[in-house]
Chain A
């Protein structure tokens, strides 16, 4: 019923608008077309200035309402991200100045130079001087922005500091898998054909001793405040993207091609909860590359901890190897030691040969 009503009302509005428009055309003919054209010209010229003023007020109002909802007031949660923010402010200053200046000139000129019988237009076809000015000045300003941008870019994409920890992030439809290298500090090899959702979600090669102490987790990634972290990013199926808006970082997860990204978290999750006044605050990993029909729900969480908390967390985790082979787990060993010897280790010799 409401739908019908809305349709009827909109139709009515259309008809009214059309009738008025049609009538105005007849009135124009009666009054003299030239006369009414000039009248329209005046109205539209005036509206140009009205639009300019209301537009600028709108820009201000929009900022007033929405600024606090962006990430800018809380600042970057990573050390490197501060450079993104400072660059962002500089770029905003430059483009904001040009935006306001040119929009004012555009709509003001439109108003000021509206048709007037007494004005003789100025035949002004070109001026090398003017054109040189507005070629050279933008070029210089842009060079400055490029230089600053590239310095940051090479820092972001360069080698992380030596003390950085390393975490592997793998995207899949529709979630994230994290792997830590474990005590030995090195990742074991993996091969995608070994993937088994129940026992080997990353396809680790168990022949590789380095894989035995690797920790594999889902949902939450744990990082340490103040310690740089390098992410090695990959995907199991389609292209995903590790989007870390609080840290101002982002990198695609591409099947078959590992990518990397590094940053240094500045605050623990707990500190951010206080800082933002939001008890539910989380560092969220959003998938930023269209990856299928549940793309919108592909969410991961990063929990930034103090070093001590982190160490305790890691110590409580058991290597993924034991998920695959529960009988190898020392926790189970005492009760079932006979079985442990009897069961052969599953070798993936074909796979190793391929590598």
Chain B
């Protein structure tokens, strides 16, 4: 189908509307299945991604609460745990097998299913057509497939929890030989097969989505919407999609080799292995490090796949609610571009202590620390955007400010870890946990919350409850810092990550009290997320209705659609764009929509 055809088919439907009034459903003969299940409307697919992502976020969060229970109270036993986990928590105490399965699944699910699919799946789908002025994605069908592949991946991943020897338990990075040999770890049997199938389906979903986002942004912008007039959200989502399309296939190739090693007797990753109780394996000549190169070639860009959408949304929301243009638009785009390029050139900084050639390591140190430069530009530009603004603390705005705070805190520790001579001390300690949870986990989660709060009125035509939102924000921000800040100190004591119990270690057992504190705060923060969920679902059905088309006084195109846009987004013609998205506070006007033609007497900037 050519772009023209895609553009025109719904356009005609839109015109049709105008002539006959708003009787959307009657003309399209939408059934429940075509509207809510196998929907090809990008807005509905976005909501599907969002809600599936939320389900995974709850499950993944709950897993972290369970393993934090073990870390915080290693001596205690909780009989109710046996009720829900059965043999995995015999006598009310989580077994090491279960602990590692929880840690692994928590990581996999949060990184891929929540912060990749849930974040860019939701907002790329929702915002790209609305903000560039398109009726839908380049290929709505592929878009639908993208969601359903994600759904299938979710089902397979979920089913891996219920197999006899448990889900995969070798860490979310799944390094072989551990992940290749069921004899080395019970979770590496059927659990790992299912994990690999789920991840393969996920890669397909992510490629179908990503190609679609790129095609849509490049080809389907409305008249006048040049690339340099795009809102920063779209630029961020564009680079995110490019990163995904270029790096996920490499991960996939790594998985294929792993599948061969596991099932067909090859030795890509295996060499010189003797397993207790099994004996020496026949495999020789493979390299376990090869997998790590393939994995981190995705794994590092993945960090930015998670972070860039949050950056884009925070930029947009900060500007709208400061009632001021984003500072340094071109520098913001340039730094996104620089980050996207550098993302591909730093993967081996995860591998400084694998015996990597020291010279190669030094190149990766240089390139890694280089990322701090575009990151610094972004931070200072956000701060300057706030300067002399007129800030409205909407929940979206507050989460964006929280995002900037967390991005600074977590980004700065990247300067420690990226320097190999320091990494040699801090690698795989709690310092790393603190670093990536703050900068990638919580910061991106804040970006996601910001996006949800900000665009909720556009998604559902209703408002969320502000009091609950503010409560959610303050508990989560303070809680996140209380959980992860002290972990830096544990890391500075050399305390290794992924330990089930520290009590036998003379060097690490001094943190028992701190672990209890962290676990307690983690539970409170998790409970605060339930407030958010309740607020979200309650407001979908019962929230106050949005009555104005443009509640924030925002410039971007999504606010020129009807309050509840139908499939095709605009009734009548798609608006033409005459200016960039950030004319806030210009010439004494509070805001000037992108659709307003440039006046003759308007000052230029």
Seen from chain A, the residues whose Cβ lies within 8 Å of a Cβ on chain B are: 3, 10, 14, 17-18, 20-22, 24-25, 28, 37, 40-41, 44-45, 47-48, 51, 55, 58-59, 62-63, 66-67, 69-72, 81, 83-84, 87-88, 91, 94-95, 98-99, 102-103, 105-107, 109-110, 113-116, 119-127, 130-131, 134-135, 138-139, 142, 145-146, 148-150, 152-154, 156-158, 172-173, 192-193, 195, 197, 203, 233, 236-239, 241, 243, 245-246, 248-252, 254-260, 278, 280-282, 284, 286-297, 299
Instruction: State whether B181 touches A254 (Cβ < 8 A).
Output: no
Given known contacts A3-B80, A84-B422, A119-B388, what 15 new A-B pairs fall within 8 Å (CB)? A40-B393, A69-B489, A95-B415, A109-B386, A109-B387, A122-B324, A122-B389, A126-B330, A153-B358, A195-B274, A239-B177, A243-B494, A243-B496, A250-B424, A259-B354
- The 8 Å CB contact of A21, one of B422, B427, B465, B505, is B465
Asked whether B585 lies within 8 Å of A109 as measured between CB atoms, the reply is no
> Which of B468, B514, B588 contacts A120, CB < 8 Å?
B588
**Could you give 25 example pairs across A and B, Cβ below 8 Å?**
A17-B471, A21-B471, A25-B466, A41-B392, A45-B391, A95-B412, A95-B413, A95-B415, A103-B409, A121-B323, A122-B388, A123-B587, A124-B384, A124-B387, A126-B331, A127-B328, A154-B358, A237-B177, A246-B507, A250-B353, A282-B507, A286-B505, A289-B428, A293-B100, A293-B186
Residue ID in chain A nearest B177 by CB atoms:
A238
State which of B111-119, B230-238, B397-405 sits at the interface with chain A: B397-405
- Given known contacts A95-B412, A142-B415, is B427 in contact with A288 (CB within 8 Å)? yes
Indicate the member of B276, B425, B465, B481 with the most A CB atoms within 10 Å: B425
Given contact pairs A102-B408, A135-B377, A157-B361, A125 touches B325 in the complex (Cβ within 8 A): yes
- Whether the Cβ atoms of B398 and A44 lie closer than 8 Å is yes
- Closest chain-B Cβ to A273's Cβ sits at a distance in Å of 11
B424/A91 in contact, CB under 8 A? no
Asked if B466 and A40 make an inter-chain contact with CB atoms under 8 angstroms apart, the answer reads yes
Q: Do B493 and A245 touch across chains, with their CB atoms under 8 A apart?
A: yes
> Quick one: given A121-B322, A145-B369, A237-B274, are A278 and B506 in contact (CB under 8 Å)?
yes
What CA separation (Å) do A104 and B404 show in the bound complex? 12
If A95-B416, A115-B392, A280-B506 touch, does A131 touch B328 (CB 8 Å cutoff)? yes
A110 to B318, CA, bound (A): 11
User: Contact string, B428-465, partner A, CB cutoff 8 A, digits 1/0?
Assistant: 11000000000000000000000000000000000001
Is B97 close to A, CB under 8 A? yes
A135:B393 contact, CB within 8 angstroms: no
**Is B420 interfacial (CB 8 A cutoff)?**
yes
A67: which of B358, B468, B489 is its contact (CB, 8 Å)? B489
- Pick the contact of B501 from A115, A125, A296 — CB < 8 Å? A296
B550 within 8 A of A: no
Interchain nearest-CB distance for A52 vs B (Å): 9
Q: Which of A45, A148, A250 contacts B393 (CB 8 A)?
A: A45
Across the interface, do A250 and B425 meet the contact criterion of CB distance under 8 Å?
A: yes
In this assembly, does B544 line the interface, its C-beta being within 8 Å of a C-beta of chain A?
yes
Whether A120 lies near B286 (C-beta < 8 A) is no
Q: Does B545 contact A (CB under 8 A)?
A: no
| Cα distance, A181 to B280, chains bound together (Å) | 24
Q: B562 in the interface, Cβ–Cβ < 8 Å?
A: no
Given A106-B405, A135-B377, A295-B499, do A121 and B428 touch, yes or no (CB 8 Å)?
Answer: no
Which residue of B is nearest A36, CB measured? B466
Quick check: is B288 within 8 A (CB to CB) of the other chain? yes
Stretch in contact with the other chain, from B40-48, B152-160, B168-176, B201-209: B168-176
Knowing A69-B493, A69-B511, the reply to whether A282 touches B506 (Cβ < 8 A) is yes
Residues of B within 8 A of A114 (CB): 390-391, 393
Q: B324 near A123 (CB under 8 angstroms)?
A: yes
Of the candidate stretches B25-33, B51-59, B526-534, the one touching chain A is B526-534
List residues of chain A with CB within 8 A of the CB of B328: 125-127, 130-131
* B-side contacts of A294, CB under 8 Å: 96
| Size category of the binding interface on chain B | 35 or more
CB neighbours (8 Å) of A299 from chain B are 504-505
The reply to whether A249 and B424 form a contact with Cβ atoms under 8 Å apart is yes
B327, B391, B467, B497 pick with most chain A CB within 10 angstroms: B391
Chain B contacts of A256 at CB under 8 A? 271-273, 284-288
Q: CB < 8 Å: which of A119, A149, A289 contacts B365?
A: A149
Q: Which residues of B contact A109 (CB under 8 A)?
A: 383, 386-387
Among residues of A, the one whose C-beta sits closest to the C-beta of B469 is A21
Evaluate contact between A173 and B330: CB separation under 8 angstroms. Answer: no
- The 4 A-B residue pairs with the shortest CB-CB distance, nearest first, are A245-B494, A256-B271, A259-B355, A121-B585
Please report the C-alpha to C-alpha distance between residue A45 and residue B373 in the assembled complex, in whole angstroms. 30
* A41–B284 CA distance with the chains assembled, in angstroms: 66
Could you tell me if B424 and A150 are in contact, using CB atoms closer than 8 angstroms?
no
| Cross-chain contact B361 with A102 (CB below 8 angstroms) | no
Chain B residues with CB under 8 A of A130: 328, 380, 384
CB pair B492–A296 under 8 Å, yes or no, is: no
The residue of chain B having its C-beta at the shortest distance from the C-beta of A202 within the complex is B274
Q: Are B355 and A252 in contact, with the CB atoms below 8 A?
A: yes
With the chains together, A243 CA to B514 CA distance in Å? 22
- Write the chain B residue with the least CB distance to A96: B412
State the Cβ distance, B425 to closest chain A Cβ, in Å: 4
Q: Is the CB of A241 within 8 A of B428?
A: yes
Closest A residue to B335 by beta carbon equals A135
Within 8 Å of chain A (Cβ to Cβ): is B35? no
Instruction: Assess the B422–A293 pair: CB atoms within 8 A.
Output: no
B425/A248 in contact, CB under 8 A? yes
**Cβ–Cβ contact A87 & B419, under 8 A:** yes
Contact between A20 and B177, CB atoms less than 8 A apart: no
Q: Which residue of A lies closest to B492 (CB)?
A: A70
Q: Shortest beta-carbon distance, A26 to chain B, in Å?
A: 10
571-586 of chain B: CB within 8 A of chain A: 582, 584-586
User: B residues near A, CB below 8 A?
Assistant: 80, 96-97, 100, 169-171, 175, 177-178, 181, 184-187, 270-276, 280, 284-289, 322-325, 327-331, 353-355, 358, 361-362, 365-366, 369-370, 372-373, 376-377, 379-381, 383-384, 386-393, 398, 401, 404-405, 408-409, 412-413, 415-416, 419-422, 424-425, 427-429, 465-468, 470-471, 474, 477-478, 481-482, 485-486, 489, 492-494, 496-502, 504-508, 510-511, 514, 527, 530-531, 534-535, 544, 582, 584-588, 605
The residue from B169, B373, B492, B605 contacting A123, defined by CB atoms under 8 A apart: B605
Least CB distance from B582 to A in Å reads 7
Contact A173 B276 (CB under 8 A): yes
The contact of B465 among A22, A37, A41, A254, by CB within 8 Å, is A22
Given contacts A106-B386, A259-B354, A288-B496, contact A239 B361 (CB under 8 A): no
On chain A, the residues within 8 Å of B355 by CB distance are: 233, 251-252, 254, 257-260
With A103-B405, A296-B501 as known contacts, state yes or no: A124 contacts B485, CB within 8 Å. Answer: no
A245-B425 contact, Cβ under 8 Å, with A114-B391, A123-B585, A239-B177: yes
CA distance A260 to B184 in the complex (A): 25
Pick from B416, B514, B587: contact of A66, CB below 8 A: B514
Q: Is the CB of A115 within 8 A of B391?
A: yes
In Å, the complex CA distance between A70 and B434 comes to 15
Q: For B408, what are the chain A residues with a Cβ–Cβ distance below 8 Å?
A: 98-99, 102-103, 106
Q: Chain A contacts of B329 at CB under 8 A?
A: 125-126
A173 B489 Cβ-Cβ under 8 A: no
- Chain B residues whose C-beta falls within 8 Å of the C-beta of A24 in the assembled complex: 466-467
Contact flag A25-B327 (CB < 8 Å), given A62-B485, A110-B391, A121-B389: no
Min CB distance, B124 to chain A, in Å? 26
- Please pick, from A10, A91, A113, A255, the residue contacting B273 in the complex, using a CB distance under 8 A: A255
Contact between B324 and A121, CB atoms less than 8 A apart: yes
Cβ contacts under 8 Å, A113 to chain B: 322, 386-391
The answer for the CA separation of A130 and B376 in the assembled complex, in Å, is 12
* Residue numbers in A under 8 Å from B413 (CB-CB): 95
Q: How far is the CA of A245 from the CA of B481 in the complex (A)?
A: 25
The reply to whether A99 and B425 form a contact with Cβ atoms under 8 Å apart is no
Minimal beta-carbon separation of B323 from chain A (angstroms): 5
Which chain A residue shows the least CB distance to B280? A193
Closest partner residue, chain B, to A252 (CB atom) = B354
